[in-house]
Amino acid sequence: MAAEKILIVDDDTNICELLRLYLEKDGYTTTIVHDGQSALQSFRESEPDLVLLDIMLPGLDGWQVCREIRKTSDKPIIMLTAKSETFDKVLGLELGADDYVTKPFESKEIVARVKAVLRRSGSAAGKDIKEVRYEDLVINLTNYEMRVRGVKVDTPPKELELIYYLASNPNRVFTRDQLLDAVWGFDYYGDSSRTVDVHIKRLREKLKGVSEKWSLETVWSVGYKFETRD
């Protein structure tokens, strides 16, 4: 199998070379760029499997780059930044980032997170088909596709992963922290309610009134569940 391609976007050349060293040692191929505009151009040309994206970049910042990539692609994005405030983490997640790493970081940690995100995203080869089916609803995590009454519904990656996780565990109640950890895949410190609630709200809009045999329910003061009925 061809080595998975990682696009590294950071204006710090030392960090870029260190990441290249560790990632290529682990079998990945890498491309390095140092500004936002070059990142978008390289993304279109090289079609990487994952992007390591710094926030503080010359020209277009990481937020803008993430937003532009998400208009056309679901490829995983890991944000790299010196910022650690809760607002920045929430913003990155809402824009579609898959993970968030605060500098300074250990290079081995980055490699581990790259592996985990690729594994969750289905980019790694050899995965079994991940699919759950209910009346008028099919959620396929292998193809990253949700169909409602047979029609494909445009669903961003994190929304799809969230509904897949809930639907794979019917009638089980999850707290917001449990959902954030399971779907976004890292320990989160701060108020998780905004991120999870926004994604749940969008999913409800897409699934409203589809079937009387299942629904996305709020369990007050606890969290959410995918409820099924006979």
What CATH number corresponds to the domain at position 52? 3.40.50.2300
Distance CA(142)–CA(181), nearest Å, equals 20
pLDDT at 43 over 70: yes
Same-domain pairing of 60 and 165:
no
Same-domain pairing of 62 and 165:
no
Same-domain pairing of 105 and 173:
no
Predicted TM-score (pTM) of the model is 0.56
pLDDT at 1 over 50: no
Q: For 116-141, write each residue's pLDDT tens digit.
A: 888 777 644 444 568 899 999 999 98
pLDDT at 98 over 80: yes
pLDDT at 58 over 60: yes
Same-domain pairing of 190 and 168:
yes
Please give the average per-residue pLDDT across 148-172, as a whole number: 91
Out of 121, 153, 176, pick the residue that ends a domain.
121
Whole-number mean pLDDT of the chain? 85
Distance CA(162)–CA(141), nearest Å, equals 10
Q: Which residue has the higher pLDDT, 146 or 103?
A: 146
Q: State the total domains in the chain.
A: 2
Which residue type is seen at 100? Y
Same-domain pairing of 20 and 112:
yes
Distance CA(90)–CA(195), nearest Å, equals 6
Same-domain pairing of 115 and 139:
no
Q: For 62-96, write each residue's pLDDT tens digit.
A: 989 999 998 888 889 998 887 665 556 666 667 77
Gyration radius (Cα) of the chain, Å: 18
Domain holding 224, by residue range, is 131-228
Same-domain pairing of 189 and 169:
yes
Out of 121, 151, 183, pick the residue that ends a domain.
121
Same-domain pairing of 143 and 214:
yes
Distance CA(213)–CA(200), nearest Å, equals 19
Please give the average per-residue pLDDT across 197-221, as a whole number: 93
Pairing, β 131-134 against β 174-175: unpaired
Same-domain pairing of 89 and 164:
no
pLDDT of 80: 87
Half-sphere exposure of 33 (CA within 13 A, CB side): 26
Same-domain pairing of 100 and 136:
no
Please give the average per-residue pLDDT across 30-37, as a whole number: 95
Distance CA(101)–CA(77), nearest Å, equals 11
Q: φ and ψ at 152, to 5 degrees?
A: -65, 130
Beta bridge partners of 224: 174, 218
Q: Is 175 among the domain residues? A: yes
Nearest 5°: the CA angle 46, 49, 52 is 90
Q: Is 53 among the domain residues? A: yes
CATH number at residue 218: 1.10.10.10
Q: φ and ψ at 43, to 5 degrees?
A: -60, -45
Q: For 182-195, write each residue's pLDDT tens digit.
A: 887 655 554 556 88
Q: Is 126 among the domain residues? A: no
Same-domain pairing of 16 and 113:
yes
pLDDT of 88: 63
Place of tokens 């950890």: 181
Which residue type is seen at 113? R
Out of 93, 121, 149, pick the residue that ends a domain.
121
Please give the average per-residue pLDDT across 103-113, as a whole number: 84
pLDDT of 226: 96
Look up residue 98 and give its DSSP letter.
Answer: S
Q: Is 97 among the domain residues? A: yes
Q: Is 178 among the domain residues? A: yes
